Amino acid sequence: MTVQTERPPSGPTDVAKSDGGNSQGPRRPRARAGALAPYLLLLPAVAATVVFLGWPLVNNGILSFQNLNMRQVILHLTEWNGFDNYKEVLSSEDFWRVTGRSIAFTAINVVLIMVLGTLIGLLLARLGSKMRVLLLFGLVLAWAMPVVASTTVYQWLFAQRYGVVNWVLAKAGWSSMADYDWMGGQYSTFFVIITLIVWQSIPFVAINLYAATTTIPKELYEAASLDGANAWKQFTSVTLPFMRPFLYATTFLEVIWVFKAFVQVYTINQGGPDRLTEILPVYAYIEGAGNQHYGMGSAIAMLTIVILLLLTAYHLRIVLKQEEDEL
């Protein structure tokens, strides 16, 4: 912008002339340069996003129509095969099983995260200040723990030999758990993964919900108790309506995060045992990069994106509409 302001007067006039001839002195081109400014400011961000996000997305679509296995990759061959990848994926039982599993996995996690997170948020509002600081500290610590580090820690907590969890369960009288192999079964592996995800996701919900409750005017509770409302009634008629937009928005975010929980599922047991804990992103990765069926993996990835869009479509529409109204 500085450049435009300091340009010699002859320059802009020439530009204006070549641009249609109706030059009205130096004012117009300056206004035009001003009109261009926002686009120039946006250019780097838009260009970077288009190249490094848009292009992989398009490329993913292109790859999904190719027969691309180890041979084609090494020899740099491009073999188009139309909708074959999609036909094969959609007609395979595995894909639908993994899809159902992903949706159930997301639902269980999100329900647990939202219910427990909300309860802890409400508890925070009720605690005295010292206990609140203590609990907030615990929440922040769990929140800050890097995901990859937490998965290795959970592997250690649930380790078959010398793992703390097995020791506690055995001491509590469940002696068959003494050397239990958590990674040996589908449900027990999922139990560990869900515990891990719920543990690391609760702080976000609880802390934000607590912050939101502090904005509810006290008068509303006073009025409610004057009307004879008990604690539950106060919760449903004052707290909940206030929290509703927040709860919707958070649920939406959690659905996206949990559905894409590649890191936790992959690092804890690589989708095992026997590929029984693969969710869609892990399935796409193992088919594509692991088994080197890159075209097939891309088709699964595209379908995964479509399913995620379908799952979030309802809320996405509301968010976009809200944003449009506000702008």
Partner 1 sequence: MKRSLIGRVWPNVVAVILFIGLVFPVYWMIATAFKPTGDIISEDPVWIPFDVTFEHFKTAVDADHFGRMVINSITVTVLAVVFALVIGLLSAFALARMRFKGRRGFIIGFMLAQMAPWEVMVIAIYMIVRDADMLNSLVPLTLFYMVMILPFTLLTLRGFVAAVPKELEESAMVDGCTRMQAFRRVILPLLAPGLMSTSLFGFITAWNEFPIALLLNKDGEAKTLPAWLPSFQTVYGDDWGATMAASTIFAIPILLLFVFLQRRAVAGLTDGAVKG
Phi (first) and psi of residue 62, to 5 degrees:
-65, -45
C-alpha–C-alpha distance, residues 188 and 190, integer Å = 5
Q: Whole-number minimum distance, CB 263 to partner 1, in Å?
A: 5
Query: DSSP alpha helices (H): ranges in 19-83?
Result: 27-49, 55-63, 70-75
C-alpha–C-alpha distance, residues 119 and 206, integer Å = 8
For residues 29 and 203, which CB has a smaller minimum distance to partner 1 in the complex? 203
> Considering only residues 225-244, where is the footprint of partner 1 by CB under 8 A?
225
Q: Does 263 bind partner 1 (CB under 8 A)?
A: yes
Span near partner 1 by CB under 8 A; candidates 16-24, 95-103, 156-164, 179-187: 156-164
Size of the site for partner 1 (CB under 8 A): 91
From residue 276 to residue 315, what is the string marking binding to partner 1 with x (rule CB under 8 A)?
----xx--xx--xx----x--xx--x--xx--x---x---
C-alpha–C-alpha distance, residues 310 and 280, integer Å = 14
For residues 20 and 44, which CB has a smaller minimum distance to partner 1 in the complex? 44
C-alpha–C-alpha distance, residues 243 and 122, integer Å = 11
Span near partner 1 by CB under 8 A; candidates 17-25, 127-135, 185-193, 236-244: 127-135
Sole binder of partner 1 in the list 8, 44, 173, 228 (CB under 8 A): 44
Span near partner 1 by CB under 8 A; candidates 7-15, 82-90, 144-152, 182-190: 144-152
Q: Does 72 bind partner 1 (CB under 8 A)?
A: no
How far is C-alpha 257 from the chain's CA centre? Answer: 3
Q: Does 117 bind partner 1 (CB under 8 A)?
A: no
The terminus-to-terminus CA distance of the chain in angstroms comes to 25
Q: Whole-number minimum distance, CB 327 to partner 1, in Å?
A: 5
Cα torsion at 219, 225, 231, 232 (round to 10°)? -90
Tell me how many degrees the CA angle 252-247-105 measures, rounded to the nearest 5.
Answer: 45
For residues 23 and 123, which CB has a smaller minimum distance to partner 1 in the complex? 123
**Which tokens go with 57?**
């997305």
Q: Whole-number minimum distance, CB 161 to partner 1, in Å?
A: 7
Inter-CA distances, 130 with 77, 85, 293, Å: 66, 59, 56
Q: Does 27 bind partner 1 (CB under 8 A)?
A: no
Q: Does 2 bind partner 1 (CB under 8 A)?
A: yes
> Considering only residues 158-187, where is the footprint of partner 1 by CB under 8 A?
159, 161-162, 164, 167
Sole binder of partner 1 in the list 86, 143, 180, 248 (CB under 8 A): 143
CB 110 within 8 A of CB 255: yes
Q: Does 145 bind partner 1 (CB under 8 A)?
A: yes
